[in-house]
A and B are shown apart, each in its own frame.
Chain A
Amino acid sequence: MERFIAGLVKDFESGKVDRREFCQTVALAAVVYGAGDAANAAPERGLKVIGINHISYTCPDYAKARDFYTSVLGMVSTPGKDNGKRANLMFGPEPGKGGSFIVARTAGTEAKPPSKAVVDHIAYTIANWDEARVRGALKAKGLEVTGRDGSLHVRDPFNYDVQISSAAQENAFRR
């Protein structure tokens, strides 16, 4: 991205692109970046992960999970995708442009092969983190909040551990 913008600045200085084109191109680049364009590709090894597509969440009653995640984390239940057994709960960028979603589903009878690993919690990033505001919003929902500043934990209706994080205070490079 930095190299791309440096080239664009050069083009602007030499008159190849005008002010309007410059601003539009940078804005478009941001959208493309969020969608994981080929500019983010070119993996050195393996497949290039650009984000979480979805999380499959299985529980005794999907509706309770749907209501929790839409109420507490502002997710949106996708119109036409709630069939009484599952719902797609969207968050982040638009669908198809890098957005993620939870598939909340009621446990069925189909058995999955056993795994020796578990995903013991998921952490969600809240934009524009304000410690007091985040803690207040969670408490206003009647949730018990644990954790440290910038990295809070609550329990969902099925006692699943949900972490609420600041991108600045909770990321792989600040461990």
Chain B
Amino acid sequence: MEGFVAQKLHDFENGKISRRRLIETLTLAATTVYAGGAGAAESPGLTAALVNHISYTCADYKKAADWYSKVFGLDQVGATDHDVALPFGKKGEQPYNVAAKDVPLTHLGAPRPKSSALIDHVAYTIADFDRDKASADLKAMGVENVRNGGPYSLHMTDAFGYDVQISGLANNALTDG
């Protein structure tokens, strides 16, 4: 990263790129370095860099979307008659999201082969996570079943009774379990 920054700075100083171009290039590089860097080394296998999106299916996507917008402050983009995307961040930022889909549960078996596994909850990382403050905020929003999930996290149920966990960066693969 530092080498890349030095090169762009050099280009700017020599008039090869404008001031605006320098700022835009460095902003893009700084905000996408993780997504682009993790799999940079050529190898025969693949390397997951990020979660791109979570596909969430329920009986009424609008109800789900409104819940996630309310609790996590997510915008809703690209709504159709059966789904909508809720990106974590603004355009050009982090390119992954929750997509709430409107497919009645009773119809799931038909188009999708049945799985013997399930995602029983998803945990989201919250900026500047403070468990007590978050708990109070959630309760003030009317979120149901807010409860502690160990020292670093909270659990709650969403609009369809789905288990949602939130935590800060302290909850990670080294500390969980």
Contact = CB atoms under 8 A, between A and B. Distances in A.
Interface of A: 1-2, 5-6, 9, 12, 19, 22-24, 26-27, 29-31, 33-38, 40-41, 43-60, 65, 71-75, 78, 81, 83, 86, 88-93, 95-101, 103, 112-128, 134, 137-138, 140, 155-156, 158-161, 163-165, 167, 170-173, 175
A156 B138 CA distance: 35
11 contacts: A47-B72, A48-B128, A50-B94, A52-B123, A57-B117, A124-B51, A158-B115, A160-B118, A170-B52, A172-B53, A173-B87
B110 interface: no
B47 A9 contact: no
Nearest to B47: A74
Interface of B: 1-2, 5-6, 9, 19, 22-24, 26-27, 29-31, 33-40, 43-59, 64, 69-74, 77-78, 85-89, 91, 94-97, 99, 101, 103, 105, 108, 112-128, 134, 137-138, 141, 157-158, 160-163, 165-167, 169-177
The secondary structure that dominates the B interface is: mixed
A47 B134 contact: yes
Given A96-B172, A113-B161, A123-B53, 6 more contacts: A34-B34, A57-B119, A74-B43, A119-B57, A125-B49, A163-B52
A116 B59 contact: yes
A49 B88 contact: yes
B2 A27 contact: yes
Contacts of A23: 2, 5-6, 9
A161 B94 contact: no
The secondary structure that dominates the A interface is: mixed
B117 A172 contact: no
A48 B108 CA distance: 31
A44 B86 CA distance: 15
B6 A47 contact: no
Listed from nearest, the 6 A-B pairs whose CB atoms lie closest are A127-B39, A46-B73, A59-B117, A74-B47, A158-B117, A172-B87
B172 A95 contact: yes
Given A116-B161, A118-B105, A171 B96 contact: yes
A126 B112 contact: no
Which of B1, B86, B137 gathers the greatest number of chain A CB atoms within 10 Å?
Answer: B1
B100 to A, nearest CB: 9
A95 B95 CA distance: 20
B176 A88 contact: yes
Given A36-B127, A118-B118, A119-B54, A173 B113 contact: no
Contact of B52 (A78, A98, A113, A171): A171
A74 B33 CA distance: 19
Given A27-B2, A91-B48, A92-B50, A55 B119 contact: yes
A5 B27 contact: yes
Contacts of B26: 5, 26
Contacts of A58: 117-120
A160 B172 CA distance: 24
